[in-house]
A and B are shown apart, each in its own frame.
Chain A
Amino acid sequence: MLNQHPLQVSCGQIKYLYDFINHYRDEKIHITVSQLNRIDMNIIVETELSQEESVKYVKELLKSSPMGSALYFTVKS
């Protein structure tokens, strides 16, 4: 049974991150956006990782996105 971690991502350019992250899947995580707001979104991360590891993983993932290196964002549990 995989863990499900609800996380919050905040960014002034949230749509760029939403487009990249919604329904993202790799060998470690599957991400679904549960709510998109003006400057943040709530996401559900399905993974074997712990909550803390998931936060780190999602941060790195967003950094590696096409706009990630330019954007200022936070990922919180």
Chain B
Amino acid sequence: MGVMDKFEKGMERFLVPIAAKLNSQRHVVAIRDAFILAFPITLAGSLVLLLNFAILAPDGFIAKILFLHKLFPNLADYQQVFTPVLNGSTNILSMFIVFLIARNIAIELKADELLSGITGLSTFFIIYPAYLNVEGANYLSTQWVGAQGLFVAIIVGLLVGEFFSRLSKSEKLQIKMPPSVPPAVARSFKVLFPIVIITLVFAIGNAVINAFYEEGLHQFIYAMLQTPLKNIGDNVISLIVLAVVSNLLWIFGIHGPNTIAAIREAMFAEANIENLNFVAANGTAWGAPYPTTWAINDAFANYGGSGMTLGLIIAIFLVSRRKEYRDIGKLSVAPGLFNINEPIIFGLPVVLNPILIIPFILAPAVNIFIGWTAIHFELIPPIAYSVPWTTPGPLIAFLGTGGNWLALILGFACLAVTTLIYIPFVMAANKAMESTIKTTNKDSDVPM
């Protein structure tokens, strides 16, 4: 048995079951899916903001290209029209997340998902810091409804989802209405007691915690859990480790990005939102508070999809003598431009390929380091804008930095580096294939 076979067997025995567990564990899945479902809202906010600064700011890159600032001297006045979009997206992300997690858990446990989600949201505000009374009017701080409240939202969502789903199944706690009562009323009364119990428990728990920790539950969880985890993510080693694990899983047929999604979101969600808020306030990505986020991976190390396979396609066109490689390369170009690499992953194949496994893991790690170095030494600004993952290659770096041309050039440089990394391995894979074919032909020449 070869080294690769042993490695493969080991992965099958240990990694696949762990990845399967992670991917099917209901709390992990509930968190992952909540962020996935909230993603279009936050992305929409980010894109509107990007357009706001790219088109309506006099120094925006689209405004400069089209001379909009000269054609419309008062262009910047219209920026305020779109600035409030963040108030309805990332600035209230915790509210979406608490609702969605409680709902997802209820779906998994086959309980009333809508009322579970609403109860989660209700509970989130029961434990929320008290209103501030200023000159007779009540004000609610927005500090914890956005990025900083994410961990409380996750914890409350999970707890409420579990309690609600379990309590609502208890026959003793159900109020059963006669059949003549409208279904919506019967549905509400069925879960009335579970909601009352959850409300009471959280109100009492909150009061107890407030008695011991004056700054409140949100501040407590933020300091004890969210900040340490965010700090773990705030370095290049964490990024590279996450990318290596994700790509390694991919090679062995496991959905890497899905498997690490819950951990990744917990580590980077707040940093991404804070960066976006910084851009909204300052109109530039320069100086964004969290330069090291997972966005670096998308901006410099994911062209063509996991393993930066756009570089592999180019390497095939440059050095591969095998017609089948070139044919698969041709088929893979169009989806690869939009970071979809299914044809090449299974066509070449890359999956379980002992030669291509090395550049598939190495190239993204190298590019993350290149991107991070450029940001760290302030050659380019941090990737502060969210950009759809299907955006073609280096454009993610360009748009993510708010239109920085050097970031675009660096993106192409990363693609060139990736191609150089893949070239010797494509040549080796070609030779391996040729020798396999020769061996097969020799075997078939043996007289029967």
Contacts from A to B (Cβ < 8 Å): 10-16, 38-40, 66-67, 69-74
Pair A70/B342 contact, Cβ less than 8 Å: no
A39-B346, A39-B349 in contact; A12/B251 too (CB < 8 A)? Answer: yes
A39-B351, A70-B255 in contact; A13/B12 too (CB < 8 A)? Answer: yes
Name B's interface SS. helix
Pair A72/B20 contact, Cβ less than 8 Å: no
Report the minimal beta-carbon distance from B27 to chain A, rounded to whole angstroms: 14
Pair B20/A66 contact, Cβ less than 8 Å: yes
The residue on A at minimum CB distance from B343 is A74
**B351 CB contacts on chain A under 8 angstroms:** 10-12, 39
Report the minimal beta-carbon distance from A76 to chain B, rounded to whole angstroms: 9
In the complex the two chains form, what is the Cα distance from A74 to B253 in whole Å? Answer: 10
**B258 CB contacts on chain A under 8 angstroms:** 69-70
| B231-258 at interface with A (beta carbon < 8 Å) | 250-256, 258
A12-B351, A38-B352, A39-B352 in contact; A71/B255 too (CB < 8 A)? Answer: yes
**B373 CB contacts on chain A under 8 angstroms:** none
**B251 CB contacts on chain A under 8 angstroms:** 12
Contact of B254 among A14, A39, A40, A71 (CB under 8 A): A71
Residue of A11, A15, A71 with most chain B CB atoms under a 10 A cut-off: A71
In the complex the two chains form, what is the Cα distance from A14 to B256 in whole Å? Answer: 16
Pair B352/A72 contact, Cβ less than 8 Å: no
**A71 CB contacts on chain B under 8 angstroms:** 20, 253-255
In the complex the two chains form, what is the Cα distance from A11 to B352 in whole Å? Answer: 10
In the complex the two chains form, what is the Cα distance from A16 to B346 in whole Å? Answer: 17
Contact of B23 among A13, A14, A39, A70 (CB under 8 A): A70
**A66 CB contacts on chain B under 8 angstroms:** 20, 24
In the complex the two chains form, what is the Cα distance from A15 to B12 in whole Å? Answer: 10
Residue B339 CB within 8 A of the other chain: no
